[in-house]
Structures are given as C-alpha cells and as structure tokens.
Structure 1
Amino acid sequence: MKKILLCLIPLLKLAIVFGQIEATTKDGKAVILNSNGTWKYVEEDKKVVESTITPISYECKDIVIDKVDKMTGESTRMMKEGMVVSEDNENGFGIIAFEASGSVILKIIAAGAGSCIEDAAEMNILFRDGTRLKMVNGGKFNCEGVFTVYFGGGFGKRKELEILRSKEIETLRVWTSKSYVEKDFSSENSKMLMASLSCLNVK
C-alpha cells in the first residue's frame, strides 16, 4: 500500500462511524478508504468513453457532506473526499476539513520527513499572490504526522480562515521533529481546499 494513503488512515478514524471515504490521488486515481484501515482503487466502468470528462465542481453540495452519528444523533459536516497532495503517493500531504462544535478543523497528515509533530510545530504557506502565512500546530504532540489547526469558537483565527478561503495555496510546508514536508499545490488542489473551507460554517 502506498505510504501517503496509509497516513490518511489515522486522520480519517474520526469518520469511522461514517463508513467509507473516497479520495483522489494527485495522478487522478480514485480510491476508497475503508473504516478498517484498508483501501482499494475504484473500478472504472470500461464502457465509459474516456473523452467524456466531468468538470470539477466546487459547489458545496458536491464537495461537502453532512454525516449523522447513528448512536449520538450528532451531525458533522466534512469534506466528501480527503485530499491527497503528492507526486508519488508516498511523500506529501493528506488533508481533510470538517466542522465540530461550531469550529472548523483542518487536519493535515505530513508524510516523508519523520512522523512526529511537536506541540508548537509550524506550518508555512506561500500563496500564489506571493503573500505568506505561518500557523502553529493546535493539536498535541503525535507521531502520526497529524498537524491540526482550529478556527472559530474559542480558538480565534477567523482572519486566517478567511485568507485560506480566499487565496490559492502555491506551496505548503509542515515541519516535523526531523525536518519538513513541502509540496506544491495544483490549481485544482488549491481551489478545492478554498471551496471546502468556504462550505464549512464557523461560530
């Protein structure tokens, strides 16, 4: 199994009660991430003509989904598909964003430069317009490569959230205890993250 997809598994454990999650690798291959930690490629219908390519939709109804926990009745809005930013599916990022308790939570799994993320680890963002943003890990020390940022509620960072909603990311760097993982975003990656964050509500 590819390392970057395996790194998505701990992040997506929060969605175990929601069943399968679809993700798309940077080279366009669709995969299904199962709640038991396995994954498989989505089989394409051989009868579909390759020339009929569906344009990417950035509308909320197409990119976020409301999931209801059958046991608690609580609803969570989250990205329909985890995003993978990687050229080789081994080094790069797995990204997911969701709402929880009136806040927006962005989780980024960094793979390729050690797996431990310190309490005060930094994330550096270069936008296509040349501006930059630095953020600090809001989660606890972990060796799963998970970098977490909380927006809204008692966490603040509303201005930073609005920047992420309105500007395309060119390059993202996440620091680990050993070094850092850095990847360029495609235009599609950037637009999908912007649109997904815009579809999530914050109080």
Structure 2
Amino acid sequence: YAQWQARWGHCEILDGIGSAEMFHIYITNYPGDVVPGSLGRTVPGYEARVVGPDGQDVPDGEMGRLWIRGESAALCYWRDQEKSRAVFKGDWVVSADLFTRRDGYYFYAGRGDDMLKVRGMFVSPLEIEDCLCRHAAVQECAVVGVDDGAGLTVPKAFVVLREGHAASDDLVSELQQHAKTELARYKFPHHVSFVDALPRNDRGKVVRRLLV
C-alpha cells in the first residue's frame, strides 16, 4: 500500500469483502478512512462478529471465524441441508474466513480450512506468505503444511522469484532467517521450494491442495 501511495499519490485502495451467501459486500474501507492491511469496517445494514471455537465473540486482536448478519443473506444452499445447517445459524451466516478485529477494523487472516497447526498452535499461511513477500527476491509465494517425517506438521513455502534472482541453498537459508526475524520462530518455513508459477483456478486463486 505504501508503494502504491508513493507512486500514485492520493489514489486510495479501498479493499473490502463480500460473499455469494450475502449477495453483497459487507466490510470495506472508505474514502478518507483507509487502514492499510485491513478490509475496513462494516457496511451500513450489516453486522459482524469474530467468533471463537466456543461460539463466543473473541476479544479484539484475537483470531476467530467471521459471522455476518444482514438483510441480503441467503436462506440456504440448494439441496445441501448439511452445509446449510453448518453455515446458516438463525440470522447469522458463518463464513469460512478467519479475522481479527482492532478498533472496529477487520483484518483478514486466511481461511479456516487453510490453517496449519504447528507445535500445537494455529498458524495462518497468509501471515508467512506476507512476510516472505516482503523479501526483495520474492515475487509471490504460497505456504502449505507438510509432514516433517515424525508425524508433525511444518510450514513449506513455494516461492516464485523476481527477475534477477536465482534459486540457491543460500537463498533458502536467507528466506528462512528473514521469517525467523519477523515472525515467531515456529512459524518459519522449514522447507522452501522454488517454482516458476503457482497453480491457480479459473478465478485466479492459488490452489494450495495442488502443492501438497
């Protein structure tokens, strides 16, 4: 965001999020009220909660699943009663997205089914990816969980390099050290593979299961 602002001046990026279940965007940044890294505040007419595994709202700064309520919500999934029961809880729609909330702003932390459990603690691949992408050699990357051979899950990064940078063991060590410096040490990618491109679906989203 800072690079965008430096190049284009006062042209703001208004990130937001919506879903098919809600038929509308329900959280967004607003002109003159942009918090970089966040998806903004709730849109008028919608309510949001960040909910823990116990079904209770989590304190600000803690990660939980996003619940949304608004008049545009769907009633159910067509001919899928089991999924409908899991997602539609009264007036609330339970998304698959994980968020934190700070001062009324919502920060995306990844999808619940993408989360890794490393040393007994949940880790968002997005957090590791964002860290690695801040390294000058990295164009883009994707992180998945792999077995370390002892039955434990560890992060593995698939990295696309920027032009002018070459894959090497030294660069692997450099990227790992970069992650250790910026993140909790257990979150660093234990394995790094360099690839020409990341697998994507027809909507441009990375298909992580093809990397496992």
Using structure 2 for the length normalisation, give the TM-score.
0.28
Q: Give the structure, 1 or 2, with the largest relative contact order (CA under 8 Å, sep 6 or more).
A: 1
